Structure 1
Amino acid sequence: MNKILKGYKGKLLALSIIGCLYYFVPIIKINVNQAFFILSNVDVELVRDYILGFGIWAPIVSFLLMVFQSVAAPLPAFIITFANAGLFGWVKGTILSWSSAMAGAALCFYIARFLGRDAVEKLTSRTALQKVDDFFAHYGKYAILIARLLPFISFDIVSYAAGLTSMGFGPFFIATGIGQLPATIIYSYIGGMLVGTVKTFVTGLLLLFALSTLIILFKNIWKDKKRKEGEKFAEDF
């Protein structure tokens, strides 16, 4: 009983500190609100100009912005990746986007593990979290890797959901790193081609959609093949 009370007090203290920092430190509140506004507009040019405005601190600001969007799910991460590619080139942009996304994933994982499900539901949503729970139940130990390979599954909510399971941080981090790298490379490569026009932006999104469809297609083919092999084995037996 004492252990439970201590855990509850620890969570309450952590939430109180975060709340106080936001409400009583003006510079934190201003920057958080500004970052939220910029990311919620889903405008690559706006994000790029915002990051560029910090001069030599631009890479650090970009890193922190990616971590922020991870915590404040479900803000989009791909516009930061696009912006990084445009500012730093697609290779350096890939490294920056991937490493900052990994830091964000780790933070989400430990927030969930420390603060628990109630806090995560407030940061995300109960419905979205339940969908990811069902995804985990269906795919088991491969769920993290598969989720990272599918760009339409929320990166941040998956990280939060993983922290609520008995999964160790090591397997989670490795699967996230391996699964997230191909998507980050593709996003960065496309982002390097974007020049801000609607036409090229839409083209980039269509390419991402085509890639997602291709992944799903191959996944279904693989599942059908395994099912048929299982049926054949049962008949032979």
Structure 2
Amino acid sequence: MVSKLKNSKYLSILITVIVFLIIYLLGRTIPQETIKRLIEDAGPLGPFVFILLSLLTYVVAPLSSVPLLFVGFYAFGKTVVIYSVFAAFISSIINFLIARKWGRSIVKKFLGEREMEKIDKLAQNYGLPALFLLRLFQGGIHDFISYAAGLTQIKFSSYILVTILGMIPGAIVWYFVSGRVNDPTSFLALNFALILISTILLAVGSLVHKRIKR
């Protein structure tokens, strides 16, 4: 079972990379306005489809939202940030409830053995202050935080409140900074930079917290 989960994980990563490369190459060979027009032809359902696909990448952790962000920026500009944050919030509820209702075994099936180790480490140190800091500097571990919280005794109402408060600052920064870029490649580079900064800040904060506890 573990080997099958690992194989499916690697397959998901491979598919994500291939899709991203195809989209990237299309972006280099086809004018941006042409691709944007094709996506916008989906009509009013465009944002809904984007949010739905984003939810899938957040719930099934090995999947990546990078290709979606790339295409989304073509279609919606910096408004894609609003759609992405909304999808992230909805998935934080779904992931929490999945972990709370069905426990560790079902989460493991979604994530695999290696990712489950991250969940266990997060769950061991959970509390509302820790949750707030994790949400504030969540970087690329949004889905893991949600699953981990569901495996703790945190009340759902408290979880939602802290999640909202923790996500707002990053969402505001992401939205306004995204207004300074003009193409999907720059948008993705900005996204990776923000994730890297958040990850570094979270790591430094965790290290300082451990030293203070000593």
What is the TM-score when the length of structure 2 is the normalising length?
0.67
Gaps of 5+ in 1: 1-35, 232-237
Question: What are the superposed Cα offsets for residues 72-125 of structure 1, whole Å, 9 maximum, x if unpaired?
Answer: 1132345545654553343x4333222221111111111222222211101012
Establish whether residue 154 from structure 1 lines up as the match of residue 141 from structure 2. yes
Structure (1 or 2) with the larger CA radius of gyration? 1
Q: Is the 8 A contact 1:82 1:190 kept in 2?
A: no
Question: What are the superposed Cα offsets for residues 19-61 of structure 1, whole Å, 9 maximum, x if unpaired?
Answer: xxxxxxxxxxxxxxxxx95687446768986854522211111
Distance of 1:148 and 1:215 partners within structure 2? 10
Secondary structure, aligned partner of 2:125: helix
Q: Is the 8 A contact 1:84 1:96 kept in 2?
A: no
CA separation of 1:204 and 1:128: change in aligned 2, threshold 3 A: closer
Match of 1:55 in 2: 43
Establish whether residue 74 from structure 1 lines up as the match of residue 62 from structure 2. yes
Q: Is the 8 A contact 1:84 1:188 kept in 2?
A: no
Q: Is the 8 A contact 2:99 2:148 kept in 1?
A: yes
Q: Is the 8 A contact 1:106 1:173 kept in 2?
A: yes
Distance of 2:145 and 2:18 partners within structure 1? 20
Secondary structure, aligned partner of 1:116: helix
Question: What are the superposed Cα offsets for residues 106-152 of structure 1, whole Å, 9 maximum, x if unpaired?
Answer: 11111222222211101012332232332332353323222222344
CA separation of 1:108 and 1:200: change in aligned 2, threshold 3 A: closer
The one of the two structures with greater contact order (alpha-carbon pairs below 8 A, sep at least 6) is: 2
* 1:80-99 equivalent positions in 2, closer than 5 A: 80-81=68-69, 83-90=71-78, 92-99=79-86
Q: Identity over aligned residues, as a percent?
A: 26
Secondary structure, aligned partner of 1:213: helix
Q: What amino acid is the match of 1:142?
A: P
Q: Is the 8 A contact 2:108 2:116 kept in 1?
A: yes
- Alpha-carbon RMSD across the aligned residues, in angstroms, is 3.8
Match of 1:120 in 2: 107
Distance of 1:57 and 1:135 partners within structure 2? 36
Q: Is the 8 A contact 2:96 2:148 kept in 1?
A: yes
Distance of 1:139 and 1:178 partners within structure 2? 17
Q: What amino acid is the match of 2:49?
A: V
Gaps of 5+ in 2: 1-13, 28-34
